[in-house]
Amino acid sequence: MVEEGKPAPEFELQSGTGETVKLSDLRGKPVVLYFYPKDNTSGCTTQACAIRDAWGDFQATGAVVLGVSPDSVSSHEGFKADYSLPFTLLADPDHTAAEAYGVWAEKSRYGRTYMGIVRSTFVIDADGVITKIMRNVKPETHADKVLAALAA
């Protein structure tokens, strides 16, 4: 079970530019790891663009921002380009990272049940320890709440 105050689960995922990103390679910097359901959907676009719009504030914290969804590398390339996103998007098509962080879960919509990402964010300190977990985040207020957690 992923908990605040515990080490963040390791992952190794491919970015939208094709490079491999490992959490352990980011030691020494805080990391904002946010899971979102799907590229180019209204909520996910709102969430990503809010981070983009506050990018200067994120850079001031020294944090590395990583967005993760089950979408493909090519989907991430397009999403990033379409909205000029300045941070890294990671492809998790087999949802191994999502499962490790407990965000791959049964969801229900329009009377239909399916498996998918629960929009969640993990703030990880420079030593790889989770300092804040935010589940079922609202896309409109996400960036401000993450910045507040980084400042705490």
Q: How far apart are CA 94 and CA 63, in angstroms?
A: 26
pLDDT value of residue 67: 97
pLDDT of amino acid 107: 84
Could you tell me the two tokens for 95? 């949802």
Active site residue 44: yes
- In tens digits, the chain (152 residues) has pLDDT values of 799 999 999 999 999 788 999 999 999 999 999 999 999 999 999 999 999 999 999 999 999 999 999 999 999 999 999 999 999 999 999 999 999 999 999 888 788 888 899 999 999 999 999 999 999 999 999 999 999 999 98
Q: Are 115 and 121 in contact (CB under 8 A)?
A: no
pTM of the model: 0.94
Catalytic residue among 44, 51, 97, 150: 44
Q: Which residues contact 140 (CB under 8 A, 6 or more apart)?
A: 46, 50
Which residue ranges make up each domain of the chain?
A: 12-151
Assign domain 12-151 to a CATH class.
Answer: alpha beta
The whole-number pLDDT of residue 108 equals: 82
The answer to whether the beta carbons of residues 7 and 101 sit under 8 Å apart is no
Torsion of CA 50, 118, 132, 20, to 10 degrees: -80
